[in-house]
Homo-oligomer: A and B are copies of this chain.
Amino acid sequence: MINIVVAGFKGKMGMTATKMVIENEKFALVGVYDPHATEKNLNELNQFSTRDVRVFQDKEELVKEVQADVWIDFTIPDVALKNTCFALEHNIRPVVGTTGFSESDVKKVQQLAKEKNIGGLIAPNFAIGAVLMMEFAAKAAKYFPDVEITEMHHDKKLDAPSGTAIKTAEMIFAERGYHQQGNADEKETIKGARGADYEGMKIHSVRLPGLIAHQQVQFGSVGEGLLIRHDSFDRSSFMTGVALGCEKVMSLKELAYGLENLL
């Protein structure tokens, strides 16, 4: 049984993480933390009415009162950095979801973990499925240089292509380099038909109401095709990755950056 605390438990991701820890048989939720919380116990919240778990507004008090193995953190970047250091200093393994750490922030906490000789994880993306999709795409690109990426999102999204699509393209580029695709003389009778060009590969962005977050990476070669697709239906998809992180950090002796390093 792994003893876990959740910091930032009142945010959307924090609530989802709290629920995941409660429902996972390998985990025990020993406390939740939020300096702005007004509750004293988690059971004051409707959805957790049967759960007797202490709420802490003060992290010093938390580490005195409960014995935790893992510190899940879904707070804002500034707070998350302080929390991560605090957890490590108290020999609690951090599992942190943030895209906001600078390279030097990451180095700093990695150094601290090394000194403490304990594991930890900081992951900008906890969706295992998305991480696997990118890893598989990069590997397939070694053998199939011709590839197009189609990402599909709800029509409120502002930017195209998506960050995941660009990251996928970067990882494919690292394997195969520049490679011109399509007919050398191809021409667009309507501008944009062939999509965005990234080092010779094409990226297409579909935006439709009803869609959530989907991406497919499509490879073609003589007489065959290979397609890798990830569908993210809701925020809870991140929790499989958070749970995996909580288990893995128990045996790690360093702090990993990126979920892919644990797969």
Binding site for B on A (CB under 8 A): 127-130, 132-133, 136, 139-140, 142-144, 146-148, 150, 152, 155-161, 166, 181-183, 185-198, 202-212, 218-240, 244, 263
Looking at the assembled complex, report how far the CB atom of A175 sits from the nearest CB atom of chain B, in whole angstroms. 13
Q: Specify which chain B residues have a CB less than 8 angstroms from the CB of A191 in the assembled complex.
A: 192, 196-197
**How often does this chain occur in the complex, in copies?**
4
B183 touching A188, Cβ below 8 Å: no
Interface contact B235-A231, CB-CB below 8 Å: no
Instruction: Please name all residues of chain B whose beta carbon is closer than 8 Å to the beta carbon of A150 when the two chains form the complex.
Output: 150, 204, 206
Question: Do residues A128 and B148 form an inter-chain contact, with CB atoms below 8 A?
Answer: no
- Chain A binding surface, main DSSP class: mixed
User: Separation in Å of the A195 CB from the closest CB of chain B?
Assistant: 5
Check A231 against B224 for contact (C-beta < 8 Å): yes
Q: Are B219 and A237 in contact (CB under 8 A)?
A: no
B193 and A203 contacting across the interface, CB-CB below 8 Å:
yes
CB contact under 8 A between A225 and B236, given known A183-B155, A194-B207: no
Contacts of A195 in B (CB 8 A): 192-193, 195, 204-206
A-B contacts, 25 listed (Cβ < 8 Å): A136-B136, A142-B263, A150-B206, A152-B218, A155-B181, A155-B220, A157-B186, A160-B194, A161-B189, A161-B193, A166-B189, A181-B208, A191-B196, A195-B204, A204-B204, A209-B222, A210-B223, A210-B231, A210-B237, A222-B239, A223-B239, A224-B230, A224-B233, A226-B230, A228-B228
Which residues of chain B have C-beta atoms less than 8 A from A226's C-beta? 129, 132-133, 228-231
Docked complex Cα distance between A173 and B187 (Å): 24
Asked whether, in the complex, the Cβ of B194 is within 8 Å of the Cβ of A192, the reply is yes
Instruction: Please name the residue on chain B nearest to A241 by beta carbon.
Output: B143
In the bound assembly, the distance between CA atoms of A150 and B151 in angstroms comes to 12
CA distance A190 to B169 in the complex (A): 12
Query: Nearest residue in B to A214 (C-beta to C-beta)?
Result: B225
